[in-house]
Structure 1
Amino acid sequence: MELTGKAVVVTGGTRGVGAGIAKAFLAAGADVVVCARRPPDTPVEHAGRTAEFRPLDLRDPGAVRAFFAAVAADIGRLDTLVNNAGGTPYRLLEESEAERHARVVELNLTAPLTASLAARPHLRRARGSVVMIGSVSGTRPSPGTAAYGAAKAGLESLARSMAVEWAPEVRVNTLVLGMVATELSALHYGDGEGLARVGATVPLGRLAEPGEVGAAAVFLASASASYISGASLLVHGGGESPAFLAAATVNQGAPADRPPNKPEGDGR
């Protein structure tokens, strides 16, 4: 998955998952530009290579178009856009006005669309790709972050439609993320023992690392994925064990050769 000579933009690439993605592309040899409203506290770098930072408010369509035109002109090409910028505070629906929920949708759905449209002419010339950063919140109920979940569901649908409309010049795929360990994990999941308990709910026994998300993004941008478009790649450590399995007691003493909660004679 060698990307030397390729140019990549990672939105929200200054910290957390975005920084992990940017570092993975640097490791693969790509020239990386990260953007956010504010510069990072420390440069995003890996193995002696540093991502270039450029400020950008993704909610300003005119600024977004100017940003991608400048990046393509300065570097000479644009091969991959990773739409990573996003997020939400925990907020029950009835605890806030519709306008605040709408801003969450704007950041997590409208902004990636704005960036993708601005990047498309440059990606088309390079026969490049778009990688959307989705979430399992878009595939299951998301209490407390309902607007975010709805936006991520829309993002995955948008990516599939873009993959059809923009083929064959531009490939579009989505990484559907579960829980990821970042510098802000404690705000969402607790720290210490609490974080360990949360990680234990994942079949693989832990949260993902940002670099693991980055490796998946590099794969989707590489020649190894040249026939993959319109796909959703789950990066969630096996997902979530169904709650009913822990609650059910009928087969607690089931023989080892028979799966729990599956009656004998059931051929499914």
Structure 2
Amino acid sequence: MSGRTVVVTGGTRGVGAGIARAFVEAGADVVVCARRPAENPVEGCRFVPLDLRDRPAVAEFFAALPRLDVLVNNAGGTPHRLLTDVDAERHARVVELNLLVPLTATLAAHEHLARARGSVVMIGSVSGGRPSPGSAAYGAAKAGLESLARSMAVEWAPDVRVNTLVVGMVRTESSHLHYGGAEGIAAVSRTVPLGRLAEPSDVGSAAVFLASDAARYVSGASLLVHGGGERPAFLDAATARKED
């Protein structure tokens, strides 16, 4: 990735920081943007403060870049909220952050990317392909993001490649908020076929692959980064046993 410029949205912590670090290690010039700077910045990255929901500011940010080869739409997330616990406006904000923000950023970056024959990596989620109680709006937005990426890949070919990383559970500094302490994280890890949660570096490596020349014929694809997925619940619930 030497000589290429990469923008990672929300690249200041967690998965985003892991992605930024992977591109730095691959030799890219990396710009991360978020509302607030990182407490522990990734060495080698340039930080630009940006509210990604501010569309004029997003357009101005991308217009000011001298070049852009790769855009990683990582900014997103949601708190745990059952559908009836909050009003529709709160859910709409989740959809905005996880679907409309990537759309806005990618449209603003399109001219740069087409000129460079670059690529877009959307950070999706397994929540977009299965029921997501407590994060239904997030799951719906991630499903839409994957669909958006496939359409972009067709509309913008052959100048820009667009792919999605469908990410499972990742161990970050916030994991305890979702799974509990060390015991909770260990218990959740045992539900993953590979026996552990992903590290941010695992997602970063996959993002670098999709953006690199090694994936030059990959576009409109969804790459699962989930450690083998989830063990079907019925296997543990079933009472039948195989005969000896």
TM-score range, shorter chain: over 0.9
Aligned equivalent of 2:219: 229
Check if 1:69 corresponds to 2:63. yes
The CA deviation string for residues 139-190 of structure 1, in whole angstroms up to 9 with x for no partner, is 0000000000000000000000000000000000000000000000000111
Aligned equivalent of 1:190: 180
Distance 1:178 1:153 in 2: 14
Deviation at 1:42, TM superposition (A): 2.5
**Matched letter for residue 197 of structure 1:** A
**Matched letter for residue 90 of structure 1:** H
**Matched letter for residue 106 of structure 1:** E
Residue of 122, 127, 130 corresponding to 1:137: 127
Aligned equivalent of 1:44: 42
Distance 1:254 1:147 in 2: 45
Deviation at 1:254, TM superposition (A): 4.1
Aligned residue-pair number: 244
Check if 1:27 corresponds to 2:25. yes
TM-score by length of 2: 0.99
Structure 2 vs 1, CA of residues 175 and 69 (structure 1 numbering), >3 Å: closer, same or farther?
Answer: same
Give me the identity figure in percent. 76
Give 3-state SS (helix, strand or coil) of 1:87's partner.
coil
The CA deviation string for residues 239-259 of structure 1, in whole angstroms up to 9 with x for no partner, is 0000000011212x445xxxx
Distance 2:7 2:186 in 1: 33
Deviation at 1:83, TM superposition (A): 0.1
Check if 1:160 corresponds to 2:164. no
**Matched letter for residue 115 of structure 2:** R
**Matched letter for residue 33 of structure 2:** C
Deviation at 1:70, TM superposition (A): 1.3
Distance 2:41 2:101 in 1: 24
Residue pairs, 1:206-221, within 5 angstroms: 206-221=196-211
**Matched letter for residue 87 of structure 2:** E
Check if 1:89 corresponds to 2:79. yes
Check if 1:4 corresponds to 2:19. no
**Matched letter for residue 10 of structure 1:** V
Distance 2:179 2:157 in 1: 40
TM-score by length of 1: 0.90
**Matched letter for residue 120 of structure 1:** H
Which blocks of at least 5 consecutive residues in structure 2 are unaligned?
Answer: none
RMSD of Structure 2 on Structure 1 (CA): 0.7
Give the 4+ runs in structure 1 shifted more than 6 A: none
